[in-house]
């Protein structure tokens, strides 16, 4: 619980490597997460080789966190399970969208376990959502066979910074009791008030020359065109892999 409440993303790491036995313990923690039907349709690819990390960094837009000494790429993986089915006279039926989502979700549960276990051991971590942005390129570098889709990367290493906890919406902004209570305009104002009035927001508005924080999200960070282009590439990849 303590590790959960203290979580912050670390984007600057000491150059020190992480002991392999320690890493193995974290990966074991990943496998203890619940997973659909205990099929374990995910894989964890651990990359520590500096040359490979250098190749992977552009997939993650060379963001500072991509310079971490360890990258674990979590993948939805039907390659192994389907091979097993075929060797056991069973006809797999996993070439469909639901199966992709099952592998995707189970990979995220495992990833969160690895993240928490790493933090408890004194490591800093950061999730890179850019894995999905560059899924095809990541697949090539990590030599993923058909049926394996990279969905999320967790980088880790010994932290070389101590950031504050990041803000969150008030609990009333994300929790609903019994059924969903939709938000009025006033609710929205109230939920975002603290975030909008923070020193960080004021700084971001100045640097980005924007009127509102929301505009920074829609125009700078997650613009419609970028989201659409990546969506098109993902859909194409899922079709090539027979998941769509």
* Near a copy of itself in 189-228, by CB under 8 A: 189, 191-192, 211-215, 217-219, 221-228
**CB 28, min distance to a copy of itself, A:** 6
Question: x/- site string to a copy of itself, residues 102 to 141, per CB under 8 A?
Answer: x-xx--xx-xxx-xxx--xx----xx-x--xx-------x
Neighbours of 101 (CB within 10 A): 13
Q: Which of 80, 67, 39 shows the shortest CA–CA distance to 128?
A: 67
**CB 62, min distance to a copy of itself, A:** 18
Both tokens of 191, joined, read: 């939920």
Does position 162 interact with a copy of itself (CB under 8 A)? The reply is: no
- What residues numbered 45-84 form the site for a copy of itself, per CB under 8 A? 45-49, 52, 75, 77, 79-81, 83-84
**CB 168, min distance to a copy of itself, A:** 5
Backbone φ and ψ for 3, nearest 5 degrees, come out as: -60, -40
Whose Cβ is closer to a copy of itself: residue 160's or residue 217's?
217
Out of 14, 161, 163, 168, name the contact with a copy of itself by CB under 8 A. Answer: 168
**CB 15, min distance to a copy of itself, A:** 19
Distance CA 168, CA 163 (A): 15
**CB 59, min distance to a copy of itself, A:** 14
Would you call 228 exposed, middle or buried from its count of C-beta atoms within 10 A (0-12, 13-18, 19+)? exposed
Does position 27 interact with a copy of itself (CB under 8 A)? The reply is: yes
Distance CA 51, CA 53 (A): 5
SS3 90: coil
Whose Cβ is closer to a copy of itself: residue 13's or residue 81's?
81
Spatial CB neighbours of 141, under 8 Å, sequence gap ≥ 6: 52, 55, 56, 59
């Amino acid at each position: 619980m303590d590790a959960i409440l203290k979580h912050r993303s670390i984007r600057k790491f000491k150059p020190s490597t992480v002991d392999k036995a320690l890493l193995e313990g974290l990966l074991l923690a990943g496998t203890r997460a619940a997973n659909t039907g205990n099929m374990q349709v995910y894989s964890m690819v651990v990359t520590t080789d500096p040359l490979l990390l250098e190749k992977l960094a552009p997939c993650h837009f060379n963001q500072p966190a991509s310079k971490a000494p360890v990258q674990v790429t979590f993948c939805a993986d039907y390659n192994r399970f389907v091979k097993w089915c075929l060797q056991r006279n069973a006809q797999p039926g996993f070439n469909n969208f639901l199966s992709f989502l099952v592998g995707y979700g189970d990979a995220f549960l495992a990833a969160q376990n690895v993240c928490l276990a790493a933090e408890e051991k004194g490591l800093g971590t950061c999730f890179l959502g850019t894995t999905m942005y560059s899924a095809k390129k990541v697949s090539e570098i990590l030599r993923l066979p058909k049926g394996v889709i990279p969905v999320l990367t967790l980088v880790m290493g010994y932290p070389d910074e101590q950031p504050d906890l990041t803000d969150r919406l008030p609990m009333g902004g994300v929790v609903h009791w019994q059924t969903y209570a939709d938000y009025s305009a006033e609710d929205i104002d109230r939920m975002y008030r603290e975030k909008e009035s923070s020193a960080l927001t004021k700084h971001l508005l100045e640097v980005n020359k924007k009127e509102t924080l929301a505009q920074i999200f829609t125009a700078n960070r997650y613009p419609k065109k970028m989201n659409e282009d990546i969506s098109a590439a993902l859909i194409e990849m899922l079709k090539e892999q027979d998941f769509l």
